[in-house]
Amino acid sequence: MNAVYLAAQDPTLADFGKDPWWLVLGKIVFAFAFGLLATLLGVWFERRVVGRMAVRPGPNQVGPFGLLQTLADGLKMAFKEDILPRAADKVVFFFAPTISVISAVTALSVIPFGPKVSIFGHWTPLQVTDVSVAVLVILACSSMGVYGIVLGGWASGSTYPLLGGLRSSAQMISYEVAMGLSIVAVFMTAGTMSTSGIVAAQGDGTRLSLGGFELPTPGWYAILLLPSFIIFFIAMVGETNRAPFDLPEAESELVAGFMTEYSSLKFALFMLSEYVAMVTMSAVTTTLFLGGWRAPWPITLWSGANEGWWPMLWFFGKVILLVFVFVWLRGTLPRLRYDQFMRFGWKVLLPINLVWILVLAGLRSIEDWQTRDRLLVTAIGAGVLLLATLFWPSRKKQPKPSPQEQVDSRPYGSFPLPPMDLQVPPSPRTKRVVAEREPANVVAGSESREV
């Protein structure tokens, strides 16, 4: 395949804004349907995979392989009673779930699903739209989704939902910084913030000469910008409130977090927004770091791998793989404590990201190096930063005080501790109740003896 035809397949900003209205409407409906169908199948996929990991079948009764179980659950939620708490702000309580869903679906409007194809005689890119700052649109949508969670927790008029909303806001601030810095490395390498331009930049593979042999090197930023990819994925899991970072809805601490007071369809909308956000962020990761709709090696050996409608298959395959990683994390890792979670974001991810951007800027400023030397140094730096992430020194553990020292250190008037032998004496209320019942028992016993 010649380079001229390859360039003709890559959409540019000039290709948008020229489609007829019916084609634009069809693209919007397709993006919306993709988000909803991927969510329905994602719920089924997660339950099946987690069931497999836990050595149990998972949903397998409703429909073939249990495929209709998610639809049945949605219908069941629709017919449940919709409860409105008395202390809730009715307007905000009603609209909060819709904010999260709309924000998650809107981000799909700038995701490229494929190259330019012919649809009923019109040569158009498989993307709703694209702008010069499309990645900032994605960041804005991911940030706006948190408003639905925060407003839902505040409008419920209850303690547990409020705590869950506050946790979500703190979580968003902490991990949005790391996510933004990870995308800075993509901007520096691609030279554009357009999503179609970033995918096109990753298609320019290079060749690395080793020992007289020239090896093809993919232009995927997941390989060339490995530290950014790892940090972005971790921050993405934290942004979507997925395990092990699901602190805003921790069942062991906050009942259901910000969703505690929700029921029926509004509860279903919150559940839908979580899975739509998971699918959307998987699509964003595919676009920014995994070459977008471009085929992986060795499929690229086929000359028609990136032509026509085939790229949509590679795109969906990458998204499904990332969704599997989401499910894998949920099925294997325990939930972090909140202090561990915040410390990891501010004291580990953020410093490593800043150092990596400085290293990358230094490499970009050296223009006289050959491509293989630049790739070699980048790989060494990525390996060092990855090792630093895995083996980050923890705080020195303080010796645990003895039980008696813990009792002596408590201030005067604090809640008393039970005895160390665990023989808890009866409470004063128990003694009073027993004393009140004893005279009645004695009278009843004397009457029975007289009879």
Q: Which residues of 315-353 are buried (b: 16+ CB within 10 A; e: fewer)?
A: bbebbeebbeebbebbeeeebbeeeebbebbeebbbebb
DSSP for residue 13 = G
Asked whether the predicted pLDDT for residue 216 surpasses 60, the reply is no
Asked whether the predicted pLDDT for residue 144 surpasses 90, the reply is no
pLDDT score, position 391: 58
- Measure CA 366 to chain center: 36
Tokens standing for 338? 């909140």
Q: How many Å apart are CA 293 and CA 312, to the nearest integer?
A: 6
What residue segments make up the domains of the chain, in order of their start?
A: 13-390
Q: How many Å apart are CA 233 and CA 190, to the nearest integer?
A: 19
Report, as an integer, the average pLDDT of 110-131. 87
Higher pLDDT, 438 or 23: 23
pLDDT above 70 covers a percentage of the chain that reads 77
29-33, 355-359, 438-442: which has the minimum mean pLDDT?
Answer: 438-442
pLDDT score, position 389: 63
Closest to 201 (Cα-Cα) out of 382, 376, 361, 12: 12
Report, as an integer, the average pLDDT of 243-271. 78
Give 450's pLDDT tier (boundaries 50, 70, 90).
very low
Asked whether the predicted pLDDT for residue 204 surpasses 80, the reply is no
Give 288's pLDDT tier (boundaries 50, 70, 90).
very high
Higher pLDDT, 234 or 215: 234
For the stretch 360-385, pLDDT in tens is: 877 777 655 555 566 656 666 666 66
pLDDT score, position 7: 45
Asked whether the predicted pLDDT for residue 33 surpasses 50, the reply is yes
Return the H-helix or E-strand segment holding 207. Answer: strand 206-210
Give 224's pLDDT tier (boundaries 50, 70, 90).
confident
For the stretch 170-185, pLDDT in tens is: 887 888 888 888 898 8
Return the H-helix or E-strand segment holding 435. Answer: helix 428-450
Q: How many Å apart are CA 128 and CA 140, to the nearest integer?
A: 17
Higher pLDDT, 221 or 5: 221
Asked whether the predicted pLDDT for residue 285 surpasses 90, the reply is yes
Higher pLDDT, 396 or 344: 344
Higher pLDDT, 397 or 355: 355
pLDDT score, position 405: 74
Asked whether the predicted pLDDT for residue 14 surpasses 50, the reply is yes
Higher pLDDT, 42 or 426: 42
Q: Nearest-5° angle of CA 134, CA 137, CA 140?
A: 155
Name every residue whose Cβ is closer than 8 Å to that of residue 396 and which is 6 or more positions away in sequence: none
Q: How many Å apart are CA 361 and CA 404, to the nearest integer?
A: 56
For the stretch 289-317, pLDDT in tens is: 998 888 887 787 777 788 888 889 999 99
Give 246's pLDDT tier (boundaries 50, 70, 90).
confident
pLDDT score, position 423: 55
Asked whether the predicted pLDDT for residue 27 surpasses 60, the reply is yes
Tokens standing for 9? 């397949």
Asked whether the predicted pLDDT for residue 430 surpasses 60, the reply is no
